[in-house]
Every structure is written in structure tokens, then in C-alpha cells.
A and B are shown apart, each in its own frame.
Chain A
Amino acid sequence: MAWTWFHKLGSPPYVYKLAATLTPWFAWIAAALMAYGLIGGLVISPADYQQGEGYRILYVHAPTAWMSLQVYVVMAVASAVALIWRIKVAHAVAAACGTMGATFTACALATGSLWGGPMWGTYWEWDPRIIFELVLLVQFLGYMGLRAAVDDTQRADRICAVLAVVGVINVPIIHYSVEWWNSLHQTASVMKLGSKPTMPLSMLMPLLSMFFGYVFLFGALLLTRLRAELLSRERSASWIRDVVRA
């Protein structure tokens, strides 16, 4: 039973139609979650005791930083699936992740800099987490660069898949860097497993809503780009006729 589902996901027309159906749902859910998150974060939640109103950057900084890691993990997992089970659709998923990953990472660095300026007194520090997040940005750009540099699509897919899998080592480094080094960043207050979050609910709810909003946004964008990838890779299939004319 489970294998049938797995095999269906290997079929480009099935995935295309599934993506087309899911995208508007994801988009609207994302919009609703982010609307609540923005209003809750910008208007309703109280000012922070130490940082005043300035802490509100949290609602865009933390989700983008978290998403930058998520996107890379998705890319790496899709690449691994594609290499192990030789599933072309998985390659298309990985290919669709590059731009968004770079965007989220760049946003995380930019918003982090704007937050660090007033709060830490410095717009840029060679702090471990910042260094490795910068490396992550370079990883995304390198991934896209390698894909562009290799001519044959199939070979580009597979070589980039190896790159994505090998480079995933940076994700745990970024996550645990605040524990391994004495860093300007505070240790995890939301993501600690098994212990209660240390943030008041009025701040936590909009933050979580933004997190999930970003996830659904990424989902909608990924499915859109995935559809574009699937279309451009299928050369001779008749399913294109049904789907595109519809």
C-alpha cells in the first residue's frame, strides 16, 4: 500500500497534477498564517523588556534563518532519494530549491545584520553562526553555479545531488554552533527538544505562525518551480498535452 504511493510519486504527470492541486491551498494557508504572524508580531505582542520595539525583527529574522536550513535539508534529502532510488522527480525537486534557499539565507544574514546593529552594537561580526550561515549562502550559489556549468541535464542532476548530500554537514554545524562556541547568538530558546520554550505565549504564537507560514510559502513556491522543472525535462511525453492545454 505504501509502496504504491511511493511509486506514484515517481511519475511526473502524477506529481505535476498533485502539485497543481496543492499549490493554491498552500498559498492561501501561507497567506493566512503570515497575516496572523505579522499582525500578532508587529501590533499585538508587547514590547520586549530589554530590546524594546526593536526585537520585532525576530519575526522575520528567525523564520528566514530557520527556513534557510530547512530548504537545504529538503534539497539534500531529495538529492539522496534521487541518487539511491534513481527517481527523476526527486532531481527536479532538488533543482527547484536553489533560488529560494539562497534568498532565505541572504534575508537571514541581512535581517540579522539589521538586528545586530542596535542590539549588539555591531552590524557584522565573525561569529561562528554568522560565518557558517554565510558559507551556506555560498553553498546555495555554488549549487546553482555547478548546475549551470555542467551541460548535460542528467549529469548536472547527479553531480549536484552528490554536492548537496556532501554539503549537508554544514546544517548541524550552523544549528549547534551556538552551543559549541561562545557566540554572540543566544542558545536555542524555541527549538530545544523536550523542554518548555522560554518565550511568553504572546510572542511565541505569532512567531510559530510565521514559521509555519514560511513553510507553506516555501511549499507553494517549490511546487510551482517543480512544475516548471518537470515540464522542461519531459521531452516526448503526451501527458504534457493534457496538462498544459487544460
Chain B
Amino acid sequence: MSTPAPAALIPGHPRTPALRAARLVLGRDLRLAFRRPGELVQPLIFFAIVATLFPLAITPEKSQLVLVAPGVVWVAALLASLLALEFLYREDAHDGSLEQFAVSGQSLTGLLLAKSVAHWLLTGAPLAIMGPLTAWADGAPMSALPGVFISVAVGSIALSLLGSIGAALTLGVRRSGVLLSVLNLPFTVPVLIFGARATQQAIQGVDYTAAVQLLGAMAILGVTLAPLAAAAAVRISLE
């Protein structure tokens, strides 16, 4: 059950301005996702499960948990984003929509950026809320929560967008889960390092702007360059 690409993107249709095409793709992706809310919440439930495992496995003592809280939040966020990335291109690759995008005459880069934005809105942005919740549950003070929110929000953008590169590279590969995480490693490791540091600084009440700025730089890199690489990889996979 899937929607074919919007008429505006099919070859032969009078040329649509790029921004309108991107908005159409964004709207389509969001609408499609909400038709299957069960699939939509999977990454978030996964995040909740992973985050819950840590106190059970390590210790329920909040005074000790607060020390590992940044790690818990970010490991759970990373795993959830890996799970979510598998869905990014899968449906569209299967039903031929991706191919339609590629031959539509629109910039594939722009359309993939729109897909990534939709993907982030659905799977990354909610983490920005669940992250602080988890940190609070693990003993972080209320004053730290805005900082945790900012760091996870910015970091999740970086994760979603840079992660689309690995998703595009493994487009034609069956059972691509592990390979996907392996290929994305050079991008996720720096995001993880600085994200966890920013969250930790927020929890400790120390100034976290430097780390968030670095996260922001990575997010910007993701927004500008990742769709280019993803488009190149998608074109190769579709040949």
C-alpha cells in the first residue's frame, strides 16, 4: 500500500519549481508515515526500551545513574536513529517512487533533502523530547533539561542527515542493518562524542555552548552535503 509519486514530479508534467517539489515530497512523506502510526513509533519505543535497560542493568541508584545519563541518552538515540534509517528509502525504492524522483527532472538532491527533513521530523525531533525525559529519569536536575534538549535536538539533525548517506549506499543490499551502521560510523562517532559531551556539560551545569556549536556545524554539514552524496549513491543504485 503506497502512494505513487505526486503528479507534479512525473516526467512530462510542466516543470515545477524546486521548492514546491520539495514541499510536495515532504508533505507526501509525512502523510504516508501517519497512515501507519505503528511503524512511526517504532524508533521511539526502541529508544524507550534501550533507555530503560540501562538502569535495570547498571544500577537503580539515581546518584550513580546521573553519571552515565549522557551516555544512555546518546546510545539510545543512536540506536533508534539506526533503526529509523532503514525505513528512509526502503518503501520508495521498492515501489519505484525513488526512480520517479530521479528521472523527474527535479534535483534529486533537493528531493532527498526533503525526505530527510520529513524523516527527522518523524524520528529525530521526538528524541529531543524523550532525551531530556530520560535524563531526568536518570537523576539529572530540572535545570539541566533545556541544555539536554538543545544538544539532542541539534545532534539528531546531524544523525538523521549524515545517516542518510549510509542508507543511500546500502540501498540495493539485503539485510543492510549492520552494514548501514558500519558505513555511517565515521559520521556518528564525532556526533556521539560531542553530543554526549554537551549533554554531560548541561547536566553538570557547566557551559555547553562550544560542544553544541560543533554539533551545529556537523548538522549544517549534514544538511548541505549529505543529500548530495546520497543522491549520487541513489543514482548509482538505480542504474
Contacts and interface: CB of A to CB of B under 8 A. Distances in A.
Interface stretch (B6-14, B142-150, B164-172, B204-212): B164-172
A139 B189 CA distance: 12
Nearest to B184: A142
- Majority SS at the chain A contact face: helix
Interface stretch (A15-23, A47-55, A160-168): A160-168
B45 interface: no
A170 B189 CA distance: 10
Given A135-B189, A159-B169, A162-B169, A142 B236 contact: no
A188 interface: no
- Majority SS at the chain B contact face: helix
A169 B222 CA distance: 13
Interface in B115-174: 165, 169-170, 172-173
B185 interface: yes
Contacts of B79: none
Interface size class of B (residues with CB under 8 A): 20 to 34
A47 B182 CA distance: 42
A149 interface: yes
Contacts of A131: 189, 193
A162 B185 contact: no
B236 A159 contact: yes
Given A135-B189, A169-B186, A173-B190, A158 B236 contact: yes
Given A132-B189, A150-B172, A145 B182 contact: yes
B185 A138 contact: yes
B93 interface: no
B190 A149 contact: no
A142 to B, nearest CB: 4
Interface string A121-154: 0000000000110010011011001100110000
Contacts of B172: 150, 155, 159
Interface residues of A, number: 22
Given A146-B179, A155-B172, A170 B236 contact: no
A166 B173 contact: no
A142 B187 CA distance: 13
B183 interface: yes
Nearest to A141: B182
Interface of A: 83, 131-132, 135, 138-139, 141-142, 145-146, 149-150, 155, 158-159, 162-163, 166-167, 169-170, 173
Q: Which 5 A-B pairs have the closest CB atoms?
A: A142-B182, A149-B173, A158-B236, A170-B186, A142-B183
21 contacts: A131-B189, A135-B185, A139-B186, A142-B183, A142-B185, A146-B170, A146-B179, A146-B183, A149-B170, A150-B172, A150-B173, A155-B236, A155-B239, A159-B169, A159-B233, A162-B169, A162-B232, A162-B236, A166-B165, A169-B186, A173-B190
